[in-house]
Amino acid sequence: MSQTSAKPVPKKQRDMNKKPSKSAVVIPAALLAILALAAFFLFALPSLRGDQANPQKLMQKYYQNLYADDLKKLPECLPEELRESFEQVSTMGGVSSSIYLSYRQQRGDEVGKNIRVEVELISNENAGSEKLSATQKDFDGVTTVNLVEFEVRLTGDTGSVAMRGVTYVTKIGGQWYLTTYNLLLDRVA
């Protein structure tokens, strides 16, 4: 009888026959998960933060600046396409100070100084595809249009007043904007 001796298998071939270790599978999966999480924080969270991250924050910013803070920040609540015309209308073509200053003074006469502004959304609903299409024709990058009904409460040293309004708000680039600066408010009894 002949005996056959086992030939040694070359190291390279032995390494190819081995199954990948658990760590060789887990480490790339963990790295992919970390990259996905980092992408989420990089792209999604900035739109969740900020003073125009949702319709509520937008309306609060607008009315806070209108009645209590910096009138010069009102254009930030509008898309780029409206900002220049807003400046022209609010100052009557640069002839007078901002009409919005008179709105502030009028409300200050009613409620006194140290005005606190609270905005509450009563409803916030998608305005539908027809309104979205119409708005996309006028403004670049629009992804959503909502119809909001809201109440603005002003409280000062000598009194308070509540007003209600309805308007469209538009999402552009992850932030919300007003696409009109003619916001009519009705006094709440």
**Segment 126-169, tens digit of pLDDT:** 999 999 999 999 999 999 999 999 999 999 999 999 999 999 99
Query: Which of 179, 182, 177 minimizes the C-alpha distance to 52?
Result: 177
Q: What's the pLDDT band for 124 if we cut at 50, 70, 90?
A: very high
| β-pairing verdict for 116-126 and 142-155 | antiparallel
Instruction: Calculate the CA 60 to chain-centre distance.
Output: 12
Q: State residue 150's pLDDT score.
A: 98
Which residue did the predictor score with more confidence, 150 or 21? 150
Q: State residue 154's pLDDT score.
A: 97
Query: Which of 182, 160, 184, 172 minimizes the C-alpha distance to 55?
Result: 172
pTM, two decimal places: 0.71
Q: State residue 42's pLDDT score.
A: 45
Q: State residue 15's pLDDT score.
A: 55
Residue with tokens 């806070």: 64
Q: Which amino acid is at 37?
A: L
Which residue did the predictor score with more confidence, 47 or 15? 15
Query: Which of 72, 45, 68, 73 minimizes the C-alpha distance to 58?
Result: 73
Q: Is the pLDDT of residue 184 over 80?
A: yes
Tell me the C-alpha distance between 175 and 79, whole Å: 10
Count of beta carbons in the 10 Å neighbourhood of residue 138:
12
Region 49-54: mean pLDDT is 86
Which residue did the predictor score with more confidence, 29 or 175? 175
Q: Is the pLDDT of residue 47 over 50?
A: no
Tell me the C-alpha distance between 164 and 55, whole Å: 15
Query: Which of 61, 67, 95 minimizes the C-alpha distance to 177?
Result: 61
Query: Which of 55, 98, 104 minimizes the C-alpha distance to 75?
Result: 98
